[in-house]
Structure 1
């Protein structure tokens, strides 16, 4: 048996080693500078940062020679990249310039013949005309890349354009041509938008552009994916102990560049370009589809398009024809022979005005297809349903083949299922208390899946693919129960093979209907369509399908009851009006925290975090009215069980015994342990301070008592009868069915299933009465009824005697057990289980007869009384808590809850 707080020692050792290695790696990395050394062919200038409060170092590379009649060409690299990306192009220009000078010096006519090929397509010089890059080129390392500063605030293409303009200002370049390669194309477009009078022409080479043809087409989806990519690089860099080996400065800059860049404005910029535009693209480009270049050519009606039989990276191979075509275009621009928007043909202007047609989206190919495939695989780890919906919509759009979509979803779903099962197998049952499993899987749901799995494993695995809420418990159960690995791999593979094609196919059909209905456009884009289709499918699976079964109808009946009756509402929905009332009382009286002055026996008047054992110590003077109890130390499981056994032996008690965390409210963590197994389970779940208390039979009541200063006796403010609900077996129905069949229990069946994890399989005998909860807390399923009719002078005298023995107590609720209601009337046989301070409630308000407004009226009277008593204490020298003390206590309480959750 594992020890509480000391389980999984190998995990603690591994975490310690990892933390030490990470600390050392971080020290090494911080001592290293990301900045690349300045290459010999670079020069640098300092420019102002966008906020004007600092400077950036921009490195740039100049080639060619300045000629007054030829405007310089600014070369903007892609991401990742640097000015060196244009080396082949610019070095070719230099070589050809040298050849021309040699030829001119020799005055050899045959040199002309040797350089010409007779077609005019290669490098030809005729008189003073030049068909290669015979001009000055300026190629900056954009911020974050190359030898420029890497620690910059803005990596976006818009920010890069701003930095490039500042560089050109520093260099005194007034008018220029601009060539943008890949991601640099977006920078070129922003340059043309920011300085249209200075940009002579724009060349887009393998360039990104309109949002619709970038990755998945939708900005929000793409931005999220780029965010995941950035997070992955950040995680590798900062969370992997690599001692600088994986710093990947270029990769991090690339990820930030794509994350910071918004391509949505680029369509508008393209549509408004006036300057000549030359588009050069590879027909087999796997990163930026050729359809993007064709769309850019369409919406820039005066543009020229050269579609090469190449991929994305033809720039790096160079070629004389590339330099020839570029220089020819630039020369025509400077000679006034290249068309501008004013020269566009009417037919092209008409086509440019048409909206983009989603039906023109090309299918993913090459590396882009691999990226989408991997994205779908990893997306399935987060949500298999949304992943299948996305895959189906991509099929409907014609961007993904159906077999590829199914394969990606299949790999992602199967690997995530097997990964969960393997993790549960390694960690064992404690996995249920670890995030994220504890957020999604209840103990009851796990026990239900385990019971089914033992009986009919194959059927359960198959059904879990189609029954909402059962997949994760089934995977966890398969791992924790240490089932046959090979057998369950086969079961999971078979189930996913049946489920995935069907679900992706349904989404593809629905998506195709949407595409056709909306004329080829998905409403709201891909993300909007995914969310809309997800809403439809989740509604069908979560609402429509369950209504065809008795269990599903009863579950929905319970949900509707919870909506109708405020007593089942979550705290965030019920308490805001009360919070405003408390604030108003504090402001009206000039003391926001006056109520904390009451109950000096409790920290903050019992607002939160009070120790149950300290309160029971304060009640030592009430004699037999206090059941036997004992603090239980922290430590190993064996030590705590030993301490409990000694307590039971000393008090001549046996199971059942009440076990409670030393701090907590609303019955959180309280257990009535009826066996050593249940005792061990409590200690495993509660590693912190706890206490054991004698189990007292009888009827349970909540008696709220208050006393004004200067008075000997107080008064009973509220009496609540706490009724533990029960169902009666019929010998054939499971406990879960009996709960769902009960007119009230159905509303909180999920709570009772937590109290009875075996409910799905346990069949109570005919006539057997099963109590649904053992703890007198409304949040644990106990029914609270107004019992103020039991208020008598005898009860008030008994309560005054108890409260007088508890020095420093003014206001709060006693949870007591008595033999009967009549005994309570007589004030006889009271046994005090627990006392709550200022935040206790007059719980008779939970009686179903009280509506929302009546309940709040009771709470307002209670809190007005708390403020009144607080002011009386302050008048006699009491001190309320400072607001900072309360906030600190809230933080401490939240940390404690997270540790024990």
Structure 2
């Protein structure tokens, strides 16, 4: 089983918790939502993003309250819109329902148990409100909209004017120019990031349904992202009936300037401002209730103004062009919130946010320097975070596939040196080139460019660029968006095109002109086109599906864990190499000992020395992780210095073992419990590559010219870096691979011809010494292939359980599908042997226990 260490174990824990969280929500979330839902429900047609009705239906919950005695009472239609849901009207509805019939739809806030809907915009919410009107049979309602629900109310009044008598807006959003950054494009980007963040919070964080009780959910975020406020100005100008505007002077979310603008462009409107914030409807519910009651009664008694009744002065004011100079700037809490919005918006697009901040300054909503400071802070935080992400996350990634195929330590060192000399120019240039900063700053962290050098030039560039861009946008206004769009659309592509050509020239064209470059290109091509070098997850994807099939066939997904009763889980996960070898006779196994991770480096060294003295061993010796895979951490130790270094760096239990000479083979053995003798499934011959000198070429040249070594040229060059420029004598053989591991450069060939009765008998004898070992691969050493065939002088250096590979598949004569067939046959045997062992009383690990052990192994 592949071991997981470091960040991988935390990733494993996270994935397990995430799956468990989603299962909990899928099993119990619907029931919880239904418990939250209150009032009555009605079936409505689902509305799509183009405001048309589909054939699908869903249940909409709503509240219908009336405590009076009239047969046909006046209807107040209250439309919620904020993250709080319809409960925001609770205190207000309690007051109003004594005089009016109060209807409150739960307009798909996502909090009240509705199904997933295709669209959550306030345009769509207005359509649902109208459907509810028709289904309940009430017309000429007085519509009240709160927050985002105000936009729904405006759309409802515009689309269906004959169905409403009046409109009341409480803390309502409205005209585009006074929403957030003022521009639809900029706001849409902000809402897009908000939606992504909320989606990640609800779907990528294991919360087990706890976040579902928070109103700020995905559907609410979609309401903003999927809505368009640009038509609202024209809708309000066309509105002909009475309008009441109630707003808090200290509203941090919807500026009072928005309410004042609505009042200006609707000449028949009336406005009341309160010393309150956005929660006006809660903190001043009595005053709001009284204002609504008086307004509705005035409308009912024809005392409220309609458009035809507006004064000439108000009509004239409504016809004037929009100007923000007379509105009050953001200040106090409102200023802090808008600056925070600007700061977070820079994480989406630094330049567009600077332009948006300049537009806010041009409209008088924020001062020039607060706009610059907010942009500057956001730019610094975001770009320094990019650098640090590259520094701490990117560097480890370059040591793993696929990045390590293209980026070497040498490349990083050379890039770091180049960046140190040219970094100032690069950083300042990228500040003026949109789209280039993310790769540049992240790469600066990856290559380990000096932090203080980076931060110094970065702060200088940001301090120059930010006030320039904010100032220009304040002067030019919306025109700059058009200019910047053209610049942004083409500038980066031109530069990227040039860089792409440069990379092609450096990575492909230039190497073609050198012998080493051509051989490295050949190496890359072979690793991409030869399946034996592909990542394990590609190789095992079809095999995994076959294992699932076998689990279904045998009605036990973990039946394979009984294939080797002597090993926990059959040797699937976290098996100890020393524990497995303990099962065999010491005379058949290369001498070994376990070194505990709890010991300090000195104690580890002392135990290794005692081991060597006890068994009369000299260097070289072999050190390897006691739990490991694919040769990771295995080293041949040839001197004291290397021994000390290995022991100091080892964080987990390790195994020290004598170094055995001779040839290495992989023998895959199995025995059905009902059979007297076993069988050899396959044999792999492991060839440790070497190159032969000619008295002229260096070791580097010999490696590149070798037709087998060139496949893993970069690995071999790195592993032999201390002797690359030596020139071996003519005929001198230089080993370049020490370990019999395919991933570490060994060449594997099929050894089917080595299977003999004598060898099978010897393997039967060895395995009978380990009661309960029926299935797995032995890595063995023998003086020669002939002695292996005779079953003589075989020394076991490692034994692997149920997840061991039949490594003969890596012979180049086998195709990808040949390998699949072999691996599937191997797993078929594991299930068949597990079935027989189970019939003889062997325990099968339950699926729950299996995952518990897997989780414990991941944590370790």
TM-score, L = length of structure 2: 0.60
TM-superposed CA distance for 1:851, in Å, is: 0.6
Q: Which moved more, 1:661-670 or 1:732-741?
A: 732-741
Q: Which residue of 1 aligns with 2:776?
A: 812
Q: Which residue of 2 aligns with 1:767?
A: 727
Q: 2:188 aligns with which of 209, 212, 217?
A: 217
Three-state SS of the structure 2 residue aligned to 1:653 is: coil
Q: Distance in 2 between matches of 1:713 and 1:410?
A: 72
Q: Distance in 1 between matches of 2:187 and 2:695?
A: 57
Task: Note the 1:776-787 alignment, pairs <5 A.
Answer: 776-787=740-751
Q: Does 1:411 align with 2:380?
A: yes
TM-superposed CA distance for 1:497, in Å, is: 6.2
Residues 437 and 189 (structure 1), Cα distance of their counterparts in 2 relative to 1, 3 Å cut:
farther
Q: Which residue of 1 aligns with 2:14?
A: none
Q: Does 1:649 align with 2:609?
A: no
Q: Distance in 2 between matches of 1:579 and 1:77?
A: 48
Aligned residues between the structures:
713
Q: Which residue of 2 aligns with 1:630?
A: 593
Q: Distance in 2 between matches of 1:215 and 1:313?
A: 28
Residues 771 and 183 (structure 1), Cα distance of their counterparts in 2 relative to 1, 3 Å cut:
farther
TM-superposed CA distance for 1:200, in Å, is: 2.0
Q: Which residue of 2 aligns with 1:550?
A: 507
Q: Distance in 2 between matches of 1:311 and 1:556?
A: 73
Residues 374 and 648 (structure 1), Cα distance of their counterparts in 2 relative to 1, 3 Å cut:
farther
Q: Which residue of 2 aligns with 1:893?
A: 854
**CA distances 1:519-560 after superposition (whole Å, capped 9, x unpaired):** 99999xxxxx99x99997999699655322237977876665
Three-state SS of the structure 2 residue aligned to 1:208 is: coil
Task: Note the 1:341-490 alignment, pairs <5 A.
Answer: 370-371=339-340, 373-376=342-345, 379=347, 390-391=349-350, 407=376, 410-412=379-381, 414-416=383-385, 438=396, 448=410, 458-459=420-421, 475=445, 488-490=451-453
Q: Which residue of 1 aligns with 2:23?
A: none
Three-state SS of the structure 1 residue aligned to 2:187 is: coil
Q: Distance in 1 between matches of 2:342 and 2:686?
A: 57
TM-superposed CA distance for 1:834, in Å, is: 0.6
Q: Distance in 1 between matches of 2:674 and 2:75?
A: 96
Three-state SS of the structure 1 residue aligned to 2:636 is: strand
Residues 642 and 460 (structure 1), Cα distance of their counterparts in 2 relative to 1, 3 Å cut:
farther
Residues 374 and 847 (structure 1), Cα distance of their counterparts in 2 relative to 1, 3 Å cut:
same
Task: Note the 1:849-864 alignment, pairs <5 A.
Answer: 849-864=813-828
Q: Distance in 1 between matches of 2:629 and 2:231?
A: 61
Q: Which residue of 2 aligns with 1:878?
A: 840
Q: Which residue of 2 aligns with 1:662?
A: 626
**CA distances 1:86-133 after superposition (whole Å, capped 9, x unpaired):** x9xxxxxxxxxxxxxxxxxxxxxxxxxxxxxxxxxxxxxxxxxxxxxx
Contact 1:567–1:846 at 8 Å: present in 2 too? yes
Q: Which moved more, 1:601-610 or 1:330-339?
A: 330-339
Residues 589 and 496 (structure 1), Cα distance of their counterparts in 2 relative to 1, 3 Å cut:
same
Q: Distance in 1 between matches of 2:703 and 2:150?
A: 65
Contact 2:621–2:656 at 8 Å: present in 1 too? yes
Q: Which residue of 1 aligns with 2:763?
A: 799
**CA distances 1:199-226 after superposition (whole Å, capped 9, x unpaired):** 4233457743589838631554341255
Q: Does 1:617 align with 2:586?
A: no
**CA distances 1:633-667 after superposition (whole Å, capped 9, x unpaired):** 23142333333332233223344432333333333
Q: Does 1:264 align with 2:226?
A: yes
Q: Distance in 2 between matches of 1:153 and 1:415?
A: 42
Q: Distance in 1 between matches of 2:699 and 2:268?
A: 73
Q: Distance in 2 between matches of 1:440 and 1:333?
A: 76
Q: 1:691 aligns with which of 655, 658, 661?
A: 655
Gaps of 5+ in 1: 6-45, 88-134, 145-149, 240-248, 341-363, 380-386, 425-431, 480-486, 506-514, 524-528
Q: Which residue of 1 aligns with 2:681?
A: 717
Residues 296 and 616 (structure 1), Cα distance of their counterparts in 2 relative to 1, 3 Å cut:
farther
Q: Distance in 1 between matches of 2:806 and 2:78?
A: 77
**CA distances 1:786-841 after superposition (whole Å, capped 9, x unpaired):** 23334445544543443343333333221012334444345444221111233322
Q: Distance in 2 between matches of 1:735 and 1:468?
A: 40
Task: Note the 1:745-764 alignment, pairs <5 A.
Answer: 756=719, 764=724
Q: Distance in 1 between matches of 2:556 and 2:83?
A: 60
Q: Distance in 2 between matches of 1:708 and 1:644?
A: 39
The CA RMSD measured in Å over matched residues stands at 7.3
Three-state SS of the structure 1 residue aligned to 2:564 is: coil
Three-state SS of the structure 2 residue aligned to 1:575 is: helix
Q: Does 1:493 align with 2:462?
A: no
**CA distances 1:568-592 after superposition (whole Å, capped 9, x unpaired):** 2333322233334445455556666
Three-state SS of the structure 2 residue aligned to 1:809 is: coil
TM-score, L = length of structure 1: 0.57
Contact 2:76–2:103 at 8 Å: present in 1 too? no
Q: Which residue of 2 aligns with 1:106?
A: none
TM-superposed CA distance for 1:185, in Å, is: 1.6
TM-superposed CA distance for 1:616, in Å, is: 1.0
Q: Distance in 2 between matches of 1:745 and 1:262?
A: 59
Q: Distance in 2 between matches of 1:867 and 1:204?
A: 69
Three-state SS of the structure 2 residue aligned to 1:217 is: helix
Q: Distance in 1 between matches of 2:192 and 2:62?
A: 32
Three-state SS of the structure 2 residue aligned to 1:608 is: coil
